[in-house]
A and B are shown apart, each in its own frame.
Chain A
Amino acid sequence: MFPPENVEAALADGDDQPDDKENQEAGQGKKKAAPKKKPKSKSKSPAPKKPHVAVAKKKVPQAADPSEKKADKQLADRALEKMQKNMQKANLADLSNQLKELDAEFDKNLARIYTKGGHKSGVEGCQKLIEENCHSPEVVGLFLKSLCNKNLLQVAKSASAGSFKFLEFHASLFGFMASMFKKNFKDTLKDIPPAVSKTVKRVI
């Protein structure tokens, strides 16, 4: 049986009313479960602190709920962060691939400027690429890198006839780039932090 002294002690320990109710319920539960444990308690000491243990057992899961929720949230946050990082990596990979393709295409068109038959299409191709990408300043560095490639000049000088025309087209592309990109004329690849003045100084 459940000794009344322990119930009073449990009521005195608890501060809130719900705990008291729980204690009482726990006590009632014990009362129902008591007949099975009776023979054991009879053989040993009456174990007066059992209700306290029961209360404590019930309190632990209630206290653990918020911490579990926190842990779940943390796990979810980590998973989200991982997902975002992976997405960013994938996006960066896509972007770098696109930039590589664009660089290769611009190089092709620029090289075509120095061929006798295709200089017009080369200039048009370069201008088209600059016009299409004039709103993305990341491309400025790529285009300038190609335009400032001195190996192309060696090719131009080796082709004696009409080389001044090729060089003329090449030189005019700097101005065309400036007119298209305007205040975004910043080389993000070489100038840190990127600034128009730095890029202009280097280009000149």
Chain B
Amino acid sequence: MKEMFFQETHDNIRNALSISFNEILDNCFDKPPERVPQNTPDMRTYGKSQLSAVSLIFDPLFEELQAGRDRTSRQTACYILRRLNEVYAADGSVVSVQHCQTMAQLGIRNRVCDCNFLMGLADLINDKNLGPIAVLGKDLERAMPFFI
């Protein structure tokens, strides 16, 4: 999907991709119990070693936030990240503190100046269960000049 569609700039395609990511994460793995509190380990697992299925979905998206990536595909990744964060905002096993900090760290250190990324980060900061300290963590000092 990354190779085929991440170069497309239209929001409809990006939306379809985010829905596909969501469907894969929801249906192909074991579901966790409802209303999982924050910082609980991910219940969607695969394999004998019970690796996290969330990382299987989000890691390819975080890869696009690394330095030296194509601008369009990075924008698509940011759009999908924001959408998925919105969908799983109540699910603490997906949008956990660790997930937020990884996203913030990658975005701030690699200077991702994308609308969807910043809006997604703002959504996380404004979340009742998370807040700026949980989301930004050690990168709080770096975040201030980045936002300004």
Whether A175 touches B19, Cβ cut-off 8 Å, given contacts A168-B12, A204-B1, is yes
Taking the nearest CB of chain A, how far is it from the CB of B63, in angstroms?
10
Total contacting residues, chain A, CB less than 8 A: 27
* A window 168-204: CB within 8 A of B: 168-172, 174-176, 178-179, 181-183, 185, 195-197, 200-201, 203-204
The B interface is mostly helix, strand or loop, or mixed, namely helix
Q: Map CB proximity to A onto B43-68 as digits: 1 under 8 Å, 0 otherwise.
A: 00011000101001100100000000
Q: Are A203 and B16 in contact (CB under 8 A)?
A: no
Whether A168 touches B13, Cβ cut-off 8 Å, given contacts A175-B19, A175-B20, is yes
**B4 on the interface (CB 8 Å rule)?**
yes
B9 and chain A: residue at smallest CB distance: A164
**A11 on the interface (CB 8 Å rule)?**
no
**Which of B20, B26, B28, B56 has the most chain A CB within a 10 Å cutoff?**
B28
Whether A171 touches B5, Cβ cut-off 8 Å, given contacts A165-B12, A203-B24, is yes
Q: Are B57 and A204 in contact (CB under 8 A)?
A: yes
Sorting the interface of chain B by its residue count into under 10, 10 to 19, 20 to 34 or 35 or more gives 20 to 34
The contact of B28 among A148, A171, A176, A182, by CB within 8 Å, is A182
Q: Map CB proximity to A onto B70-97 as digits: 1 under 8 Å, 0 otherwise.
A: 0000000000000000000000000000
Q: Are A178 and B24 in contact (CB under 8 A)?
A: yes
Taking the nearest CB of chain B, how far is it from the CB of A154, in angstroms?
11
A201 and chain B: residue at smallest CB distance: B56
Q: Are B13 and A164 in contact (CB under 8 A)?
A: yes
The A interface is mostly helix, strand or loop, or mixed, namely helix
The contact of B23 among A164, A175, A195, by CB within 8 Å, is A175
* Other A-B pairs, 20, CB within 8 Å; known A196-B28, A197-B51, A204-B56: A150-B3, A164-B13, A168-B12, A168-B13, A170-B5, A171-B1, A172-B16, A175-B21, A175-B22, A178-B28, A181-B27, A182-B27, A185-B24, A185-B28, A197-B53, A200-B28, A200-B53, A200-B57, A203-B1, A203-B24
Footprint of A on B, CB under 8 Å?
1-5, 8, 10, 12-13, 15-17, 19-24, 26-29, 46-47, 51, 53, 56-57, 60
